[in-house]
Amino acid sequence: MPASIQSLPETATLPELLSLLNDSLYPSQREWAADRLTHFDWRIHPQVAESLLQAARQDPAPLVRVTCIRSLALLKASTTYVVQMLQEAKLHDSDSRVRQEADQ
């Protein structure tokens, strides 16, 4: 396990996860947070889908973008904005892994 995620708690609160996804310097922590956000209902906590969507579009690390796309799919967050982001990522993302994940 990478040192950057060894110190993370097994469970984290929604504000902690959102903060990690948006602010952590470590891509592994941002991936971890994106994965853990799937434990929250985005219909009750719309900031979950919003943060995953933003990170899927803007995170500098391709694997974080991939994880955000997977998390949105697991959450079945098929809003107009998510569908639009997937179409854009499928065609224009600089990383082939992100394009492939968006296509699926």
70-87 pLDDT tens trace: 999 999 998 999 999 999
pTM of the model: 0.88
Q: What is the pLDDT of residue 58?
A: 96
Residue by residue, what is the 3-state secondary structure of the chain?
Answer: CCHHHHCCCCCCCHHHHHHHHHHCCCHHHHHHHHHHHHHCCCCCCHHHHHHHHHHHHHCCCHHHHHHHHHHHHHCCCCCHHHHHHHHHHHHHCCCHHHHHHHHC
Residue 2 has pLDDT above 60, yes or no: no
Task: Give pLDDT, residue 12.
Answer: 87
Place of tokens 């396990």: 1
Q: How far is CA 76 from CA 5, 6, 73, in A?
A: 27, 29, 5
**DSSP letter (8 states) at residue 81:** H
Query: Is 3's pLDDT higher than 60?
Result: no
For residues 3, 72, 49, 32, the Cα torsion angle rounded to the nearest 10 degrees is -10
**pLDDT tens-digit series, residues 10-63:** 778 999 999 999 999 999 999 999 999 999 999 999 999 999 999 999 999 999
User: Which pLDDT value is given to residue 11?
Assistant: 78
